[in-house]
Chain A
Amino acid sequence: MKNFLISGLLLMLATTLAYAGGYRVGAQGQRALAMGHAGVGVVNSAETAFFNPSGLVYLEERLTISAGITGVFSDVKWQNTSTGQFAETQQDPGTPFYFHAAYKVNEWLSLGLSVSTPYGSSVEWEKNWPGSHLVNDIELAAIYIQPLVSVKLSEHFSIGGGPIFVTGNVNFNRNANRTLTDEEGNRSNITIDDSGVTNTGWSASFMFTPVEELRIGFNYRSEILLNSEGGEATFSDFPNSTLTPQNGTTAFTATLPMPAELTIGFAYEMNEKWLFAFDYQRVYWEVYNSLDIDFASPNIPTSVNPRNYKNASSYRFGAQYLATENLSLRAGYYFDESPVQAMYFAPETPRNDANGYTAGLSLQVSEKFAIDASFLYLRFKEIDASYDFYTENGQNVPFAGTYKSSAFLPGIGVTYKL
């Protein structure tokens, strides 16, 4: 009973973390996700490859594999009481996935591989909605491929890390401005599209195990800039006029940063049944200062879109309860601070501070094979916000309104141990 009280208390403290601020999507392991996406101190499965590679060396089996997929069902509503306008994003589920594997070479060395999609965003507003001059729809996805090595330096201390290879895609459509149409009344719009944008980074981590029940973890992933250089910008539904850009395509360049992130935390195994975890994460969003789209055509001015993100923290709490030998139950909470500052609330990533509530379970189907399920409910407070840096005729024209969002992320995965 006492244990239940403690776990309840932790749950209340921990209210959520998985779907994080900006375009960070926290869904890189169903077991961790079910525990508030806390995992820097947890050694449980190959998910450790993502959360703290230095912990891989503590996995007991020779080969461990975790793989899974999550459906992101997010819903954003917008309204503006000074004009009576309202809009809602379409249900267009994103599907972040992960594949993590660890291979134990010997007692002090493990190798690993992690493939995941920690950054991505999919927002689709109704075409030509009142904020269509900022975004109609956007789809971002970055796949992280991380070969990893984990070395046990002593009984109490291990290190891990490796390079990160990123490949990203972007597709972003918005209207040229608030009013321009072609002869048939279709709104003039621009789509930028690029895929296979690559770059590299690195990660480093350590794990400190002062006593058997307590693991303290640290993990850092470096900043990676995705420089889009081979993409295509398509101008559509512009009128046939030499006073406006011509319909057709032109090349563009743009840079989208995947910010560095640092996580520290711990996991405490209270007894055979109960495990508690806490992560503190800092994401260095400050690098995302402005989204500048430079078109190759000399007649089209560079599109400058100030973002001015700030570094943001999240606090993640999770608990695991071994109900039976084959069934683990998990729950968690996280608080996720938004990197978006006042006056920079752009509807392409309409994220304010979020509370995430998570739960999940693992069912050990056989000795080697387990099914992992998790779900996350992300709750955002209703917020009055504006993006003030869209300009027309040299004047800033704020796009303001009230936003209310929520997201539901059910996920399923498997864990295989040999």
Chain B
Amino acid sequence: MTDASVATRAAVPARGSLVRGLLRRRGAVLSLGWLLLLTLATVAAPLVTAHGPLDQDLNSVLTGPTGAHLLGTDTLGRDLLSRLLFGGRSTLLAVAEAVVVFLAIGVTAGLASGYLGGRLDWLITRTADLVFALPGIVIILVVLAVFPGNLHAAMVTFGVIGSPGLIRILRAQTLRVREELYVAAARVAGLTRPQILRRHILPRLTSTVIVQAALFAAIVVTIQAGLGFLGLGAPAPAPSWGGLVADASQVIDRDPWMLLPAGLPLVVTVVALGVLGDAVRDAAVEAWAPPVPAPARRPRRPMPTAAGVTTREPDPQALLSVIGLTVEIGGTPVVQDVSFDIRLGETLGVVGESGCGKSVTSLGILGLVPGRGRISAGHVLFQGSDLTASPTTLARVRGSGIAYVSQEPMVALDPTFTVGRQLAEAVARHSGCGRKAARVRAVDLLARVNLPDPAAVAARHPHQLSGGMAQRAAIALALAGEPRLLIADEPTTALDVTVQAEILGLLRSLQTETGMAVLLITHDWGVVADLCDRAVVMYAGQVVEQADVAALFSRPLHPYTAGLLAANPHAAVPGEPLPTIPGTVPPPGAWPDGCRFAARCALATDACAAPVPLTEPEPDRTTRCVHVDRLVQEGTSR
């Protein structure tokens, strides 16, 4: 197959490149460098400095940095660099001890609790809650009272006390990952429990574990220093970072310099751990994370068709005229030069596969382009006023002039309020009537969308409705402002087929009653045939064909329309393969200059490499194909 998208190839990093990924990040390199330097220097402390940490030289007290004492000396003339490095040994050891205990308990218990569930889960979460409730500092002080000066015992205890946080987080993540279908597939494949945990669950948790471990290590550094500061760590003459800060604080009036060598390494280490944790997480998922869509490689030339058919005068009788609409998201055009008209009482279908720009077009009309998108060219005329011109025109039209129904009805309804209250609010907003009148009208609206017992439905919250009822309620909400145009984006895709039939029937009868126009976005030819008068077929951000529905179905004049109609299993011949269109829709940013369908088209020739304008081969029909004459002939000879 050639449909493996070439555009994504460049994003593939080499495997096992965690280290390389880290080395590309400046923060990671700096943090790693500092931690490495610190570890080496403390381990090889006797080689770095000639002075012992306990060597006193009462002739040079609080000297500040000198040739003999690079970082100066303390009140007893002991070398600060030496004390810092030897003290660092106990800090690093403490971090290692606490983090190992933290991870050993946290990861094992979190995984077991989340994956195995049942009684074990209950036992682990309850124990974790109990440990959570204990005052950590008090426990550590008690441990140090029982084992005076024993930092190892304190740090192991601290690891235990810290672990419930990790257990909780990992348990929640495991519960989520466990329900992923690939875990079910692995079970069906016959993998054992340890294999599934190792191959599928743990790798998804790594980034969390790394970040949590780094944060915890940073906390351990400060706690350990705090204990040293209070004199609860190593007994008096032995060096420790906390002890250094304590010494420095006592001579702060005489020698403020000493605070610098005492405090700075502490701060830098804590910051380095945090930065490193984030960097490792980013680098670890980099290999498999979805490629970030690349910005447009070059500014696209204006479409040569802009001066052609598409700029013809909009239909003066049209309710809505979209003229040359172009929408860009993140600088990449996703919809280009789209034009169509809708008259009152008409239903226009917009058909195409995902990624063709159907939804973006409808959102563009309402000025609701997602993300960093913007309308970069074109106009949307609604009852004569240009919606792209000013936000105030748009605000006046939204809801009362144009209403919107989405695929997912639950998104349209606020879960915290009853259906009736939401409807009444919309009614009051659009008509300006009183609360009581709005309530009555809300129940009327629910009755109009054929909900049985509308008063009872009005009193319910959205989660108490079935999918079909929720979609009816969402349609009622859309009708609250008595719109002239209803934009319905895949309104029945998430529903069962019997419910779909009811909703389509409802839309049709509402249209007959109110005379509103409907713009229906769908990928289902059956829905188009059922509801629409005319249809616009979109491919890769462009309109490729526009026609009356009867003509479109019987005589498609674009190879994409023809292919998509043929691929529908409705028309399938039993026992024979379905006619297919090879390949997939090219993503925005990978569109060719010429015909965008050419790579998948059986009719494609060299002529298709040049940009193809929309032509009007027959009255009220447009198509974007250089081979249209051939298609017209084939159609009439059929």
Q: Do A and B bind each other?
A: no
Residues on A close to B: CB < 8 A? none
B residues apposed to A, CB below 8 Å: none
